[in-house]
Structure 1
Amino acid sequence: MTAPRRLHLNTNVTGTGRHPAGWRTLANPKSIVDLGFFTEIARIAERGKLDAVFLSDALALRGHAHGPAQSLEPTVLLTALAGVTQHVGLVGTASTTFNDPFNLARRFASVDHLSAGRVAWNAVTTYDPDAAANFSIGEPLDKDARYARAEEFVEVVVRLWDSWEDDALIADRATGRYADPARVHAIAHRGEHFQVEGPLNLPRSPQGRPVLVQAGGSEAGVALAARHADAVFTAQTTLDGAQAFYRDIKARAALHGRDPDHLLVLPGLYPVIGGTLAEARARKAEMDALLDRSSELNKFARALGLDAADLQLDGPLPYARIDAGTRTDVSRGFIRATVLLARSENLTVRDLLDRNPGAHRMVVGTPETVAEDIARWFDTRAADGFNLNADVFPSGLADFVDHVVPLLQRKGIFRRDYEGATLREHYGLPRPSSRYARMAEAAKAAEPVNAGT
């Protein structure tokens, strides 16, 4: 019998929480550089049996006058969190535009070893010109160039992760033989962007290789995810739009000869939870009252590729101007999700600013409301699970874990305990074999049979 589908839940850690003014409610508003703060988040996620803690990242400083931005390097922080947790997965973001494949492959494989197989790499291409200015790049790469580089980058990283076969590390004290050179392979990559000899200088990681995640909603990003990713993090704001995206990317994966069930679709979700609807609204209103509205309007306009003067608070989005936009330093996935939400509910700019500026779908309500919403999207194949955005950490995540997770467990769609040790097992993904081992097996199978005499 086919095993029932299981819901997958990550917590998305961006600064001190998704709400821009949430930090003003914290006892320690400088928590962004406090290991104890992130340790508490990870332990709450593990208490709730969540699949993973996901760290976003930014490579340029912006907006720091009005609120915190993620500043700790993800793999460094994940290494620390690996030492204070036992089960929860650890997902870190790193750019294919501003890294080198060998260093990145080594960094994530190292953390995968140190965490006993709980790590994932969220591959992003980074469209930020301010980031380019921090890496000796005068002009940022355009989208086509970024994704061409990303395609080759991911290929090299995966080949490096595969460069040791599973049984290559022998460590036989009796014979003095430490590794089998025949099972450690140079990748000898010669491409347009990278020339990497390999192999990686550490053995294959506990889950075969780290889980590969892609985040990005552009056509090029979706194509990259369909070919390579184990999970895709996406912004989806309407049920119909999410179902269409789900069908499309699963079909694309199948065209590449992949099992569509081995590509998880995980949209962002931003729940604001109260014991009653009034309490949930009051929680949000308390934080909203602390917002710098002018700063939020400027940020929203910039994300749309517009100037603040292009937006009228009590009017609709300037759709024609957005459609005509040619800037490459914006997220097309964010714009598409925002426009879909605005059009589906006839929202004004003010409405959108009240709804997490259209980025990840917001649900304000009781634990029952949130659980029903999650179950509806899961059951109707709009998502395989969600990246949860707490309004402010740690309380927003604790409310979800303590009051929503038990409801999802009673519905039979979410685990009551961890059943495996690695992130691949949490996600229900098979452990991949080394491509070099597969090549050796294929070559052996192709050898002619010696019939003898």
Structure 2
Amino acid sequence: MSRQLHLAGFLLAGPVVHSHALWRHPETVGDYLDPQYYARSTRVLEDGLFDFLFFADRLAVGDQMGGSREQALRYGAQDATRLDPLPILAYLAGQTRRLGLGATRSTTYYEPAHVARALATLDHLSAGRAAWNIVTSMNDSEGRLFGKDRHLEHDLRYDRADEFVEVTLKLWRSWAPDALKLDRERGILADPAGVRDVAHQGQWFKVEGPLNIPRSPQGRPVLIQAGSSGRGQRFGARWAEAIFTIQADLPAMRAFREAVRRQVVAQGREADQCKVLTAVMPFVGGSEAEARARRDRHNALARPQIGLVTLAAQLNFDLSGFALGTRLEAIAKRSDTPPAVAEKLRSLGPALTLDELGRLYAGSVRVPQLVGTGAQIAEQLEEIFEGGGCDGFIVSPGYLPGSFAEFAESVVPHLQRRGLFRRAYEGATLREHLGLGPLED
């Protein structure tokens, strides 16, 4: 069989996704406080044979823009309000049978035992469909919510995250696959010889186990990661089985995927053990003109200033003192701009002005917006996929559940006819959907 692409749906457990217009859009059905808001989308994604749905997350309302949360709350920045995604996914596990379910948990503000227990439980409840989106969190607002004066410095967060994942994997491996017996006749619950002690003491964590949850159906949840910095990419290459990225065009997508695959091999892994999934925001119409009109109506609902509020929160850097016409390179060159912020600004496009970037962030947080009929969008995806830009796509919605429904109904059939996507689920677990090999114990 020829190489086939993977598809995932992207959501936040809130009113805003990459689209800041989503909650205002007249075609969005319901609101983020209603569980059916999520159930409608998961049913559509499963009908469309998607590999998985995952929820990104952030833990606090940012105040990076001028030290105030006023605009974030008034107009709806990306982190203005969120529900915890894990209880939602536990609910959705009962609404679905095959769709993978991914939750974000931070290695900076949780402990390994928290993540190990919660995600192992989700893997059991979903019969092997759980994934962990590993993040290190972003800004000082999150730190203060958890009693820290400042957010941990960038590279130290990843140092802590490396050890965090090591410990979490030890806890997930503490039960052998056949340790749980549940032998009613003999009255034997488990074989103690199959339950290993965990005694970890490192720079960041001291943990004594074992976990009190037996080995889950997948062995452990699938590991997802989205770090874009150099240190973040090295972390992802070490651990991730799927990496989510936002890239502007095919050359950038191809360069990112090639860099990831080189780093994965440098970590002693097979390159195909890590799938690179690039984000797209499709606008599907009966004609290209209709699709373009859909995109334009969507983007007109997104306030440019709220895009900058979201950007400031992501950068953990106040942009309020700069004129809207300031180019990113001018900010990056300033001596008081932190190196990590300068690197990120240059990666976003040094010639862009803050006003231009604010508009991009408001509409899609730079996720490429694809426009056309179902056949045209399928052709665009094929060009990216066959051109080495990715192993699959993260579909980010402009309105719910319509964006997912239009993609599943109008784009997926064309991908199937081109031999690029499955016509039925062939496995039961998320690891099987992604074509990942068996785990080493």
CA RMSD between the two structures = 2.4
Q: Is residue 412 of structure 1 aligned with residue 422 of structure 2?
A: no
Q: Is residue 267 of structure 1 aligned with residue 278 of structure 2?
A: yes
Q: Using the alignment, how far apart are the partners of 2:31 and 2:261 within structure 1?
A: 39
Tell me what 2:383 maps to.
Answer: 376
Tell me what 2:11 maps to.
Answer: 13
The structure 2 residue matched to 1:318, chosen from 316, 325, 328, is: 328
Tell me what 1:448 maps to.
Answer: none
- Sort the Cα spacing of 1:328 and 1:56 in 2 relative to 1 into closer, same or farther, 3 A: farther
- Sort the Cα spacing of 1:253 and 1:61 in 2 relative to 1 into closer, same or farther, 3 A: same
Tell me what 1:258 maps to.
Answer: 269
Tell me what 1:58 maps to.
Answer: 58
Q: Using the alignment, how far apart are the partners of 2:386 and 2:323 within structure 1?
A: 37
Conserved? CA contact 2:238–2:264, under 8 Å? yes
Conserved? CA contact 1:188–1:196, under 8 Å? yes
Q: Using the alignment, how far apart are the partners of 2:38 and 2:388 within structure 1?
A: 32
**Number of residues paired by the alignment?**
425
The aligned amino acid for 2:59 is L
- Sort the Cα spacing of 1:366 and 1:310 in 2 relative to 1 into closer, same or farther, 3 A: farther
Q: Using the alignment, how far apart are the partners of 2:235 and 2:396 within structure 1?
A: 25
Q: SS at 2:120's partner residue?
A: helix
The aligned amino acid for 1:126 is S
Q: Is residue 162 of structure 1 aligned with residue 169 of structure 2?
A: no
CA drift of 1:172 comes to: 2.0
Q: Using the alignment, how far apart are the partners of 1:364 and 1:328 within structure 2?
A: 36
Q: SS at 1:33's partner residue?
A: coil
Conserved? CA contact 2:108–2:161, under 8 Å? yes
Instruction: Flag structure 2 segments of 5+ consecutive residues without an equivalent.
Output: 63-71
The aligned amino acid for 2:129 is R
CA drift of 1:87 comes to: 0.5
The structure 2 residue matched to 1:221, chosen from 217, 232, 237, is: 232
Task: Within 5 Å, give how 1:194-209 maps onto structure 2.
Answer: 194-209=205-220
Q: Using the alignment, how far apart are the partners of 1:397 and 1:28 within structure 2?
A: 11
- Sort the Cα spacing of 1:369 and 1:338 in 2 relative to 1 into closer, same or farther, 3 A: farther
Task: Within 5 Å, give how 1:231-250 maps onto structure 2.
Answer: 231-250=242-261
- Sort the Cα spacing of 1:250 and 1:278 in 2 relative to 1 into closer, same or farther, 3 A: same
Q: SS at 2:32's partner residue?
A: helix
Please report the TM-score for the alignment, with normalisation by the length of structure 2.
Answer: 0.90
Please report the TM-score for the alignment, with normalisation by the length of structure 1.
Answer: 0.87
CA drift of 1:348 comes to: 8.7
Deviations 1:166-193 (A, max 9, x none): 1111222232222111111112000111
Q: Using the alignment, how far apart are the partners of 2:384 and 2:320 within structure 1?
A: 34
Q: Is residue 108 of structure 1 aligned with residue 119 of structure 2?
A: yes
Task: Within 5 Å, give how 1:21-420 maps onto structure 2.
Answer: 21-26=21-26, 31-62=31-62, 63-67=72-76, 69=80, 71-300=82-311, 303=314, 305=317, 307-308=319-320, 310-312=322-324, 317-322=327-332, 324=334, 326-327=337-338, 335=345, 337-339=347-349, 349-350=355-356, 353-354=359-360, 356=363, 359-420=366-427
The aligned amino acid for 2:348 is T
Deviations 1:392-423 (A, max 9, x none): 11111111111011111111011111000000
Q: Using the alignment, how far apart are the partners of 2:120 and 2:343 within structure 1?
A: 31
Q: Using the alignment, how far apart are the partners of 1:409 and 1:331 within structure 2?
A: 42
- Sort the Cα spacing of 1:287 and 1:331 in 2 relative to 1 into closer, same or farther, 3 A: farther
Conserved? CA contact 2:174–2:197, under 8 Å? yes
Q: Using the alignment, how far apart are the partners of 1:404 and 1:53 within structure 2?
A: 17
Instruction: Flag structure 1 segments of 5+ consecutive residues without an equivalent.
Output: 435-453
CA drift of 1:338 comes to: 2.3
Q: Using the alignment, how far apart are the partners of 1:390 and 1:246 within structure 2?
A: 23
Conserved? CA contact 2:76–2:306, under 8 Å? no
Conserved? CA contact 2:288–2:371, under 8 Å? yes
The aligned amino acid for 1:57 is D
- Sort the Cα spacing of 1:263 and 1:216 in 2 relative to 1 into closer, same or farther, 3 A: same
* Percent of pairs with identical residues: 39
CA drift of 1:381 comes to: 1.4
- Sort the Cα spacing of 1:99 and 1:361 in 2 relative to 1 into closer, same or farther, 3 A: same
Conserved? CA contact 1:217–1:332, under 8 Å? no
